Amino acid sequence: MRLVAVTTKRILVVDNEQYIQEVAKICLETMASWEVITASSANEGINQAEVWQPDAILLDVMMPDMDGIAAFEKLQTNPLTKAIPVILLTAKIQASDRRRYAQMGIKTAIAKPFNPLELANQVATALGWNLNT
């Protein structure tokens, strides 16, 4: 019998709302079998990203202390986290925002509230991942 190594994607969800963290974690673990790590603030998220080296980060835009855009900029200046793709979670999103985010190097933005059953697929599509891997 030959064993095939299965590499599970690791996703970091950074959102100050506990409910959003829990829903995203359950959805991504259930729908995609990804490992999900959560953080409740931008600073915690940046630290988690350095330690865990996730395959992607879902980052809330509106957070106290430091917003998602400032957190993204800090991630980009850190050699340990610069290459990690970031997807924004935001309650307000307009075409002009999408263009600005794309110019900054953000993969995409997902509107909140998101459809829990579609979240894993939205992440996989944005990053060019196959959901079955």
d(CA 49, CA 80): 8
**Which fold does the domain 10-126 belong to in CATH?**
Rossmann fold (3.40.50)
Q: Please name the residue ranges forming H helices in 33-88.
A: 42-52, 68-77
Q: In what order do the strands lie in the sheet with 10-14?
A: 35-39, 10-14, 56-60, 86-90, 108-111
- Compute the C-alpha angle 7/68/90, nearest 5°: 85
Per-residue pLDDT reduced to its tens digit, 64-113: 999 999 999 999 999 999 999 999 999 888 888 888 999 999 999 999 99
What is the identity of the amino acid at 91?
A
Place of tokens 């579609």: 118
Q: Where are the chain's structural domains?
A: 10-126
Q: Is the pLDDT confidence value at 37 over 60? A: yes
